[in-house]
């Protein structure tokens, strides 16, 4: 992949993760501690490096990696069904970059909806009910956030 397309891929990863409500919520509310923003920036670089150093990364592998990072670095579980979508989007953008299709890449990124955390609301839910909620997050203060 040419250097300019490498930059395009890194920018695509940054934009996709920056528009991902799960990660944005975790960073905004400091679920990853005082270094939440730095961890999110590290994640962009880690994904970029992983893809540029390895051939044929499968979507499920990236999905597992994202799930592990959310859990270990941000104490967050993405239970809203977005993990496969985010992984698929990143893998698709990588393929576009490999083929030098910057027009299609730009079009795909321009279609990303903006991340609106106003759709995330605190929910009065007991911990026993958590198993039945899709898209919930618990902060360190034990405040439950639901993304709808």
pLDDT digit string, tens, across residues 65-99 = 999 999 999 999 888 889 999 999 999 999 999 99
Chain-centroid distance of CA 88 in Å reads 11
| Average pLDDT along the chain | 85
The CA distance from 147 to 115, in Å, is: 11
Report yes or no on 62 lying in a domain.
yes
Question: Is 136 part of a structural domain of the chain?
Answer: no
Alpha helices, DSSP H, located in 54-119: 59-74, 82-98, 102-110
Q: Is residue 134 part of a domain?
A: no
DSSP string for residues in 116-138: -GGGEEE----GGGGGG-SSEEE
In a domain? residue 139: no
Per the structure, how many domains does the chain have? Answer: 1
| Domain presence at residue 73 | yes
- The verdict on residue 130 lying in a domain is no
27: containing domain: 3-118
Q: Is residue 144 part of a domain?
A: no
């Amino acid at each position: 992949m040419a250097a300019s397309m490498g930059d395009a891929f890194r920018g695509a990863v940054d934009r996709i993760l920056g528009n991902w409500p799960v990660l944005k919520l975790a960073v905004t509310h400091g679920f990853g501690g005082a270094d939440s923003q730095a961890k999110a920036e590290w994640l962009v670089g880690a994904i970029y490096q992983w893809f540029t150093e390895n051939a044929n990364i499968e979507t499920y592998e990236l999905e597992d990696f994202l799930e592990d990072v959310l859990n270990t670095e941000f104490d967050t579980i993405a239970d809203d069904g977005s993990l496969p979508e985010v992984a698929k989007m990143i893998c698709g953008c990588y393929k576009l970059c490999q083929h030098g299709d910057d027009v299609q890449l730009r079009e795909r990124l321009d279609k990303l909806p903006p991340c609106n955390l106003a759709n995330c609301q605190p929910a009065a839910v007991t911990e026993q009910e958590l198993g039945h909620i899709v898209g919930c997050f618990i902060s360190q203060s034990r405040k439950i956030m639901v993304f709808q």
